[in-house]
Structure 1
Amino acid sequence: MSEPFVHPYIPNTAPDVKAAMLAAVGAASVEEFYADVPAELRLDRPLDLPAPLLAEQDLARHVRGVLAKNRSTDERLSFLGAGTYNHYVPAVVDEVINRSEFLTAYAGEPYEDHGRFQALFQYQSLMAELLAMDVVNVPVYDGYQATSTGLTMSGRLTGRRRVLVASDVLPAKYSKVHDYVRHHIDLEIVPTVDGTADAAAVAARLGDDVAAVWVETPSFSGAVETRIRELADAAHAVGAVLVVGTDPIGYGVLTPPSLHGADIVTGDIQSLGLHQWYGGAHGGFIAVHDDPRFVMEMPSRLFGLASTDVPGEYGFGDVAYERTSFALREEGKEWVGTAAALWGIAAGVYLSLMGPQGMAELGELLLARTRYAQQALAAIPGVELGDGALHLREFTVTLPVGASDVIRALRAEGIEPGVAVGERTLLVCVTDMTSQADIDRLAAALERVTASTSHILEEQNA
């Protein structure tokens, strides 16, 4: 039997250290420690790693070769969305966040701060104005974590654990949220009607064991919820809260959920001045009203104005730091790790550049281009819209042929037509980077491919 491998620089590879760690958590083996990880997600073989590259130039060449396989949305016409979006990023955003005092300031305290706390305070203030909320956190890891935290906050606030899911949720997001909250919250999906929440069905399932109603707007398919006030009133009538997961990109023109009765608003800031970067730079926001009950349940950092020892001078520092896991450690209500603070600064720069008028124009543009794309694709024989709801940026179409076949054919023409979300269902996304000519090109290519594929299928079935 070979000796166990002990890495020279990683101390927890030593057998005695592993044994001590397992004993501390009460697990008999490494396999028992990872019992919560589903079997289908485990790798039952060693990693398929290449032989070590001993020279730096050889490693650099290898990595360049791997990266060269990627194709960015600058090289291809993209209608991909589903959580990561190709919006225009003003050059000044990248210029600001690449400054050394921001780029390298992952964490730290006021004595080593060079404007980061103030920049994040300004980001929070801009987001609060956009969302019509009072308190917004320093960004957490991503929008998935933010919504998960919003739901666990509802459980702590109400002492309940049942949550009604009223909207269609992006599958990847639902999976992450479920994994995060499953020991504290039970998610119960209420089917939607024509793309949006069925308010009557939600009201029928409400009871004194419900912690929250969870609404996504825009939904997984880009549908904008129009009955948030009804859902909020119904939830509040039984002592539950309304948690809204959203993308803030449209609130220059759409009414923010808080003005319809939402108690906790969460989401992702990737659309606000952050590149796609082969998967996206993501950061999650949590917004609440100025209510101590809600504010004190927020586990993440908040920056605010702070007085100093010098009369008339002020600074920026943590607000109610004692409620965070940074202060309470293992006694914290909820653990918060990586803060996507740099992305908060990026979003703050973006919002300050856009201003209220810019965000309004952007929202109107997105609504108009989304509707134009819907009409252009729905005019193709055999193509139908997924529902009749108002959509922002994304929508689904049902195709007369397989969605994966369409994607394969259009990809050969340099077009990424969308994401297959069903055998014949395609999720299509348009942004401010998508021109009318781009949409016309997609429609023409889609009509040609569907007609050709349908003809081939008819011949095969004849």
Structure 2
Amino acid sequence: MSNKCNVVYPYIPNSVPEVKKAMLDELGMNSVEDIYKEIPERLRFKGEMNIPAPIHSEARLQRHVEDILSKNKNCKSYISFLGGGTWNHYVPAVCDTIGGRDEILTSYVGEAFSDHGKFQILFESESMLGDLTGFDACNTPTYDWANALAITSRMASRTTGRKEILVSEAIGPQRKLVNENYCKPDITVKEIKFDYENMCLDLEDLRSKISEDTACVYFENPNYLGFIETQYEEIVKIAHEKGALVAVGVDPTSLGILEAPGSFGADYALGELQPLGIHMSFGGGLGGFIACRDEEKFVAEYPSLLFGVLPTVKEGEYGFGQVAFERTSYGSREKGKDFIGTCAALHGMIAAVYLALMGPQGMKDLGNGILQRVAYAKNELSKIEGIKIYDGCNFKEFVVNFDGLGKSVKEINKALFEKNIFGGIDLTVDFPALGNSALYAVTEMLTKDDIDSLVKAFREM
């Protein structure tokens, strides 16, 4: 907050003194300090920050940052079995090409400062996600899957007028925490037990906990542990008999081969866009979606932007515009359905490119390819003495137990790392019932040789 060091960076125009002064004059301020004057002195940092001296050359700065980034180990040089919400999927070149165009890359929540087709791309994205999930309506992207779950919980509460959400024990731990935090203070979130013998939701526990106060029942298919929920029709029946809604968390890459939530009676489908042509970006390439039936009681509760096909002033022509804009906090401010801010509209557009490129057959082939790789990996690992594979129907992810090896997951992952392999996610804290276990993910990026390398590493271990 000090003006002691007046550095001019040739690659940052706003650091030029004349430009700074012009901006301050426009704001009616004398110095940058005026911007921060409302922050109390007691909250201000008084010392010197331990940061490097400025690098004035853009070329040298780029080299400096690249040297730092080169210390990271990535999925190009390592074989990765990590998943849990961000997966190593293939990103077609066309996704980067279109997503990197200036008129697309700079879009802010899909708003049309200069449209250039953004409205249509988001409409197409919503339409294709609706096709995948078996629903009619879908929103522009939320921050991520966790945010989509939290928003859905509040949507269901407003629709039903009830204040209780039931969620499966076997959902993503981070999603669980975000949902609980977002529902505070007026909505109660309760867990439904997971049956670790049959690897599916405990229906008796669901029946004992669901009540006239339950707004929504949420489960994932496949769940966080990779198991496919085979009792989905019974879960929907139990929930609907009590007047509760049903939300299903989905991995979109599974919907080319698994039944769509809309077709088995669910009320919402939500999930993560990252597998649809979006780079992992060190865990940041995320965007959530929420799909539902095109009924007013559901659609009216969306806080997100929705895009539809609308007639133009010229008869016979159509354009793409926002639907029921007054629902949002943009249109009604504090009277909006819920608050939304900057979201992942760009990722929604890239997902549209990916889905259009893949088509129905492509998504089916993708799903089948992942199933085959998972089956091969489970079969080969189960042959190793000391390793146990939790049996069940799995998609993309499965649980590997190491109780018989006498090594912790941390020790195993360290040994794998030395062989250029990223091991699975340690489950010992979030899922203690599974013992000394890890979650392994297998995508279309892994070859038979990659899986064989993992098996060989375990045998040597």
The one-character-per-residue Cα deviations of 1:214-258 (angstroms, maximum 9, x if unpaired) are: 101221111111111111111111111111122111111100122
Q: Matched residues in 1 for 2:47 and 2:383: separation? A: 51
SS at match of 2:270: strand
The letter for the 1-side match of 2:295 is D
After the TM superposition, which of the residue ranges 69-78 and 161-170 deviates more from structure 2? 161-170
The letter for the 2-side match of 1:372 is Y
Paired residue for 1:9? Answer: 32
Paired residue for 1:411? Answer: 417
Paired residue for 1:40? Answer: none
Matched, 1:251 2:255: yes
Paired residue for 2:443? Answer: 431
**Closer/same/farther in 2, CA of residues 10 and 364 from structure 1, 3 Å limit:** farther
How many angstroms does 1:280 deviate by?
3.7
Q: Matched residues in 2 for 1:18 and 1:339: separation? A: 27
Matched, 1:132 2:155: no
SS at match of 1:309: coil
Paired residue for 1:66? Answer: 68
Alignment partner of 1:116 out of 111, 115, 118: 118
Matched, 1:373 2:377: yes
Paired residue for 1:452? Answer: none
**Closer/same/farther in 2, CA of residues 46 and 351 from structure 1, 3 Å limit:** farther
How many angstroms does 1:338 deviate by?
1.5
SS at match of 1:112: coil
Alignment partner of 2:207 out of 203, 206, 214: 203
Superposition pairs for residues 147-296 of structure 1, below 5 Å?
147-194=149-196, 195-296=199-300
The letter for the 2-side match of 1:396 is V
Report percent identity of matched pairs: 37
**Closer/same/farther in 2, CA of residues 108 and 225 from structure 1, 3 Å limit:** closer
**Contact preservation (8 Å) 2:149, 2:270:** yes
How many angstroms does 1:200 deviate by?
2.1
The one-character-per-residue Cα deviations of 1:354-398 (angstroms, maximum 9, x if unpaired) are: 111111111111111111111111111011123x32111011111
Q: Matched residues in 1 for 2:113 and 2:421: separation? A: 51
Q: Matched residues in 1 for 2:165 and 2:46: separation? A: 38
Superposition pairs for residues 24-43 of structure 1, below 5 Å?
none
C-alpha RMSD of the superposition:
2.3
Matched, 1:390 2:393: yes
Alignment partner of 1:311 out of 301, 310, 315: 315
SS at match of 1:278: helix
Q: Matched residues in 2 for 1:236 and 1:61: separation? A: 59
Q: Matched residues in 2 for 1:245 and 1:55: separation? A: 48
SS at match of 2:427: strand
Q: How many residues align?
A: 423
How many angstroms does 1:65 deviate by?
2.9
How many angstroms does 1:206 deviate by?
1.0
The letter for the 2-side match of 1:55 is H
Q: Matched residues in 2 for 1:276 and 1:333: separation? A: 31
How many angstroms does 1:46 deviate by?
7.8
Paired residue for 1:143? Answer: 145
Q: Matched residues in 2 for 1:237 and 1:359: separation? A: 34
How many angstroms does 1:47 deviate by?
9.6
How many angstroms does 1:60 deviate by?
3.7
The letter for the 2-side match of 1:431 is T
The one-character-per-residue Cα deviations of 1:33-65 (angstroms, maximum 9, x if unpaired) are: xxxxxxxxxxx9989631442524564444233
How many angstroms does 1:424 deviate by?
2.2
Q: Matched residues in 1 for 2:192 and 2:110: separation? A: 44
Paired residue for 2:16? Answer: none
Q: Matched residues in 2 for 1:61 and 1:88: separation? A: 28
TM-score (norm 1): 0.86
How many angstroms does 1:306 deviate by?
1.1
TM-score (norm 2): 0.87
**Contact preservation (8 Å) 1:164, 1:214:** yes
How many angstroms does 1:105 deviate by?
2.4
**Closer/same/farther in 2, CA of residues 108 and 275 from structure 1, 3 Å limit:** closer
The letter for the 1-side match of 2:454 is L
Paired residue for 1:55? Answer: 56
Contiguous gaps of at least 5 residues in structure 1: 21-28, 32-43, 450-462
Paired residue for 2:457? Answer: 445
